[in-house]
Structure 1
Amino acid sequence: MEYVPRERVSELTIGLSVVSLAVVFAAAGGRIPQSTVPAAPQWFLDLIPHVNVAISVTAIATITYGWRAIRRGSVDRHRIAMLASFGLFAAFLVLYLYRLVAVGGPEPFPGPETVYQFVYLPILVIHVFLAVVCVPLVYYALLLAFAYPIEELRRTNHARFGRLAASLWLVSFTLGIVVYVLLHVVY
């Protein structure tokens, strides 16, 4: 059953990627006013990073499970795991962007300047870069999966882009956890 027109996969990937990244960069750049999101109590805003690290750990598990499932030939388990991974990513992003807009920008690094310059900032830059690169890769793999029946999917770039997306996704989520540890545990 075709959910996405095959001839529109590339265009949809580009469109979804541009819109998604525009929202992310607008929120990170302070271009979305705080008045556009409902107010939340401080305890809820303080809880979001902890919820997001749990989401990240769970996403690492579902991506790994999905990868192993397809290697073992279980298409149904792979599909469920990867859709769960995408849902977790979306939940993470919604919470992250909500907090970013609600508090008026990114959280400052509370540790020493040398740790900031030589540890935190390089890890954060790589994490953000990989997250940005993952967006079109994940959309493309997902849209291909919705555009083709399983029998025909093997003749597309789904597996190649899916492997790349999953690899970068795993690294990005892992580095996000390191950023969390540096911001909320170590300092």
Structure 2
Amino acid sequence: MQVVPRERVRPVTAILSVVSLAIVFAAAGGQIPPSLVPDAPGWLLDAIPHVNVVISAAAIVTIALGWRAIRRGNVDRHRILMVTSFLLFAAFLVLYLFRLISTGGPDPFPGPDAVYRFVYLPVLAIHIFLAVVCVPLVYYALVLAMAYPIEELPRTNHARFGRYAASLWLISFSLGIVVYVLLHVGY
């Protein structure tokens, strides 16, 4: 069943990417007023980073297993795992944005200035860059999968873009865990 018409794959990918990234950058830049999200108790806002690191770890596992499944030719398992990865990513993002908007911005780095400059900022910058690059790649692979029957997907760019998306997604999620450790465990 074709959910997205084939000729709409690129425009749908572009619209989803632009809207998603605009929301993320608006939230990160403090352009979305906290009054737009429901009030949450402090304990809930404090729990979100810990929940998100678990979600990130689960996403790393599902991406890796999805990659393994397709290498073994198990398309159904691959599809389930990659959709699960996307849903985990969506849950992560909703929670992250909710906290970011509710608290008025990202957490300040609590450690020493040298660690901030030479470890935290470079890791954070690479994590953010890969996450931004990942968004259109993930959307493109998913939209292609929704536009073509399984038997036709090998004749599309799904596998090529999927490999790039999965690789960058894995690295970004892993670096996100490093950022979490630096912010919430190390200091």
Q: Same fold (TM over 0.5)?
A: yes
Q: Does 1:103 align with 2:103?
A: yes
TM-score normalized with structure 2 length: 1.00
Alignment match, 1:25: 25
Name the SS of the counterpart of 2:2 in structure 1: coil
SS in 1 for 2:155: coil
Q: Using the TM superposition, give the Cα deviation of residue 113 of structure 1 relative to its aligned residue in structure 2, in angstroms.
A: 0.4
1:42 aligns with 2:42: yes
| Letter of the structure 2 residue corresponding to residue 60 of structure 1 | I
Corresponding position of 1:82: 82
Q: Percent identity?
A: 76
Partner of 2:169: 169
**Equivalent runs, 1:24-173 vs 2, <5 Å:** 24-173=24-173
TM, length-normalised to structure 1: 1.00
Deviation, structure 1 residue 132: 0.3
Q: Shift of the alpha carbon at 1:155?
A: 0.2
* Count of residues paired in the alignment: 187
| Unaligned runs of at least 5 residues, structure 1 | none
- State the shift of 1:185 in Å: 0.3
**Given residue 85 of structure 2, which amino acid in structure 1 is its aligned partner?**
S
Distance 1:145 1:75 in 2: 11
Unaligned runs of 5+ in 2: none
Partner Cα distance (1:3, 1:32) in 2: 32
Q: Partners of 1:98 and 1:120 in 2: how far apart? A: 23
What's the offset of the Cα at 1:4? 0.7
4+ residue runs over 4 A deviation: none
User: Please, what is the CA RMSD of the aligned residues?
Assistant: 0.3
User: Does residue 180 of structure 1 match 2:180?
Assistant: yes
Give the whole-Å Cα distance in 1 for the aligned partners of 2:30 and 2:45.
17
